[in-house]
Amino acid sequence: MTPDLIYDQLIGAGCVKKLVFSWGGNPGVGSLHRLRDAVENGWPQPIEIEEHAHAGMAAAYSAGASNLPFGMLRGYVGTDLVKYNQRIKFIDCPFTGAKLAAIPAHRPDVTVVHAQKADRKGNVLMWGVVGVQKEAVLAAKRAIVTVEEIVDDLHSPPNSVVLPSWVLSAVCEVKGGAFPSYAQGYYQRDNAFYKAWDFIARDRATFQTWIDRHVLGTKDFAEYKRSLEGATSHA
């Protein structure tokens, strides 16, 4: 739905052929400059975009999780998105004749999400702003969850958001894995990095230096994090 800095990094590194999204910015800061460069200038390669509004994305993920071929919602009428996205169609209510928007179900090949806890069996507990993560996991052919910690007992409160191990392909302990974003109960977002990213990503050369040094030049997440800590103002 809302591609964040990691998407910008993937796009700038030339790993993305197509982006399906409903809001693409640096939240509270401004633009995703690598996304903009790809869309505006085709750098480092042209990117295909399939653009929705949030409600349409949410309906499409829910439809995917529900094994329905499409999601249905009111909305999109009279707006320009329907002119450019052929995957937004309209159907008629068989009872009232009302016109409703229809979006094909999202069925990702792989969904990756970060949660707070897993138990040793691989059941995952998440809380706070859970967003569309449950739907994205259940809609996917395979789902990978990284967690802050693996514990003996989740002590899940009643009706909390739990993903049973048997709907997941892999659960991995990655402390700090939501970086630079939030993990509620563990850490706040690294706001300095969000601001620094605006500078890093604005320029192709600066971006290239950054990704060569911190991503391509490190062998795992821990080394990547250490490498960032060593850099002045993340650049």
Partner 1 sequence: MPEGAYTSDEMMTVAAARMIRNGVTLFVGIGLPSAAANLARLTHAPDTVLIYESGTIGAKPTVLPLSIGDGELSETADAVVSIPEIFSYWLQGGRIGLGFLGAAQIDKYANINSTVIGDYNKPKVRLPGSGGAQEIAGFCGEVLITLRQNNRAFVKKLDFLTSGGYFEGGDSREKLGLPGKGPTNVITDLGILTPDPETKELTLTSLHPGITVEQVVAATGWPLKVAPKLDVTAAPTAAELSVLRDLNERTARAHAGQA
**Residue ranges that bind partner 1, judged by CB under 8 A:** 1-2, 21-25, 27-28, 31-32, 35-36, 39-40, 51-55, 58-59, 61-62, 65-68, 73-81, 84, 98-99, 123, 128-132, 134-135, 138, 156, 158-160, 162-164, 166-167, 181-182, 184-185, 188-194
Quick one: what does residue 40 bind among partner 1, a copy of itself, none, with the CB cut-off 5 to 8 Å set by partner type?
Answer: partner 1
**Binding span for a copy of itself by CB under 8 A among 8-16, 39-47, 90-98, 106-114:** 90-98
Query: What order of strands is seen across the sheet that includes strand 142-151?
Result: 161-163, 124-126, 110-119, 142-151, 170-173
- The three-class DSSP label of residue 81 is helix
Residue 77 found at the interface with a copy of itself (CB under 8 A)? no
Distance, CA of 178 to CA of 181 (rounded, Å): 5
Quick one: what does residue 70 bind among a copy of itself, partner 1, none, with the CB cut-off 5 to 8 Å set by partner type?
Answer: a copy of itself
DSSP annotation of 180: T
Q: How far is CA 36 from the centre of its chain?
A: 17
Q: Is 57 exposed, middle or buried (0-12, 13-18, 19+ CB in 10 A)?
A: buried
Quick one: what does residue 100 bind among partner 1, a copy of itself, none, with the CB cut-off 5 to 8 Å set by partner type?
Answer: a copy of itself
Cβ distance to partner 1 smaller for residue 30 or 224: 30
Quick one: what does residue 53 bind among partner 1, a copy of itself, none, with the CB cut-off 5 to 8 Å set by partner type?
Answer: partner 1
Residue 161 found at the interface with a copy of itself (CB under 8 A)? yes
Quick one: what does residue 132 bind among partner 1, a copy of itself, none, with the CB cut-off 5 to 8 Å set by partner type?
Answer: partner 1
Cβ distance to partner 1 smaller for residue 194 or 210: 194
CB 49 within 8 A of CB 35: no
Strand spans (E) along 120-223: 124-126, 142-151, 161-163, 170-173
- The two three-digit tokens of residue 76, written as one number: 């999109």
Distance, CA of 105 to CA of 69 (rounded, Å): 5
State the number of binding residues for a copy of itself (CB under 8 A).
28
Strand spans (E) along 66-213: 70-73, 89-92, 99-104, 110-119, 124-126, 142-151, 161-163, 170-173
Question: Is cis: bond before 157, omega within 30 of 0?
Answer: no
Quick one: what does residue 124 bind among a copy of itself, partner 1, none, with the CB cut-off 5 to 8 Å set by partner type?
Answer: none
Least distance (Å) between residue 219 CB and partner 1: 25
**Binding span for a copy of itself by CB under 8 A among 20-28, 33-41, 83-91, 140-148:** 83-91
Residue 98 found at the interface with a copy of itself (CB under 8 A)? yes
